[in-house]
Amino acid sequence: MFSEHFSRSELACRCGCDRCDIKPELLNLLEKIRSLMGTPIFINSGYRCPTHNKKVGGVPNSWHMQGIAADIRQTKCSNDIFHSKVLQAYEEGKLPELGGLGFYNGRIHVDTHKSRDGHLRQWRG
């Protein structure tokens, strides 16, 4: 296991190159979110090599390529509620590693890249 609840294969690039340059702060964030939810978290996309990032339409400077981002989902509640719970935990100081939180159909994006002024970057895709 890469961490207590996540395997290397879950977070590795999906193109088959087997790269998995995930940073410890992202693993820590994912473990905290799993604990908060009390249910398994599924990784839609973790690390992406530049070739795979381009293939899936990722932005050229994607945090996935830096090993500090993951697109995640779970089955305990709706994606809206999942997103709201993560945001609430951040606002309560429980997820200080969180730098970006994106909402997409069927998943949320989390990353540990901090903005210059420290605010949480949020968006809907």
CATH of the domain at 18: 3.30.1380.10
The single-letter DSSP state of residue 114 is P
The pLDDT, as a whole number, for residue 1 is 73
Q: Is residue 44 part of a domain?
A: yes
How many domains in the chain?
1
In which domain, by residue range, is 33 found? 8-124
- pTM as predicted: 0.95
Q: Is residue 81 part of a domain?
A: yes
Q: Is residue 114 part of a domain?
A: yes
Q: What is d(CA 102, CA 89) in angstroms, rounded to the nearest whole number?
A: 15
pLDDT in tens, the chain (125 residues): 789 999 999 999 999 998 999 999 999 999 999 999 999 999 999 999 999 999 999 999 999 999 999 999 999 999 999 999 999 999 999 999 999 999 999 999 999 999 999 999 999 98
Q: Is residue 3 part of a domain?
A: no
Q: Are 47 and 22 in contact (CB under 8 A)?
A: yes
Q: Is residue 80 part of a domain?
A: yes
104 token code pair: 């997409």
For the stretch 34-43, what's the b/e string if a residue is b when 16 or more beta carbons lie within 10 angstroms of its beta carbon? bebbeeebeb
Q: Is residue 35 part of a domain?
A: yes
Dihedral (CA of 92, 112, 76, 78) sign: positive
The pLDDT, as a whole number, for residue 13 is 98
Q: Is residue 97 part of a domain?
A: yes
